[in-house]
Structure 1
């Protein structure tokens, strides 16, 4: 029984040693990249209602009134989603004494419809100030683009592997390992001068000029292949 166990252990050790030896030669590291420029398909903007005065209670009521008017206007634009954020009451000091108060409320807007967002920003400038505009790629567009690029990058990797195999006059290769990495992207910010108008305006402005721009999406494939001479294990 002991002899049988010893023989089995020896065979397993020999098999592992052989496998490790097989993976320690003819190893080639390769990489491939696929990338493309994609037009941004969503826009996010922040509008701020801010008033200054000596009575914080009255200021709060006025800011709430303007914010409600803004939200009512936004409802007319079905493709634009809104969210109130960042309500703040802040004392203003001079010589260590409170001389006035500042009350503000921010409303975040988000849409995939640039035309409606442009028209909305033109209308609401009579009630608030456009603080920022950010263009970006939606999660769905990023995922679909990355899936397409992944296929391209892997195809390029296979082409490189085949080229290396042919140059070394080997019948084939097998894949040892592979990793796929996707690159990040940066939101594109746009602040047009005509959008940075004061809430003191009494009439509706012309639609804001929006230029969405684009983002670069990339997929990198890194891997290792082993050139092999045994045609029975070719995975080309």
Structure 2
């Protein structure tokens, strides 16, 4: 028997009130289908919630939204603090996207269990992206606070020395994503290349990291 590939989605998110909130707060109707596709891709590729790597063009057509709508939806989801992301300069390059944990929804685990006790098990692992998953993630990957994480602090320093001194919450989220996605040696190498070529662009660094990782993966398959 041939196993048909299927997309999987945590049902509790549909019952959390999040679809209605996104419909009310984000114009255009693209936010929920884009968010849902990100979750499906995360479940497809990661046992524990982690980063999704996909071009915005592919994310758009797989979500069924108009060309260019995926980028706008991603920016809205980031503003609502539902995701962390790194967005490339063009829609043809890979973006890095991650669901934020704990995910803030109108109804959480306790409210959903009260309203639908027979539908959901009383088990935090049935509520992916809820607060208990954040604790699991921290144990697996380590704390990512720059004050206590020397690797992230070094990545921040590399950014300051290469790109510039501008820093805000969105940029720090981007640096956390690449810190967790790529080995430190690879980060040092690409930031050093950017410095040597006087390229003051985080987008260039990430593009080279993605290109190098894909090249290595292809060579390993041969």
Is TM more than 0.5 here? no
More strand by share: 1
TM-score with structure 2 setting the length: 0.19
Q: Which has the higher contact order (CA 8 A, sep 6+)?
A: 1
More helix by share: 2
TM-score with structure 1 setting the length: 0.18
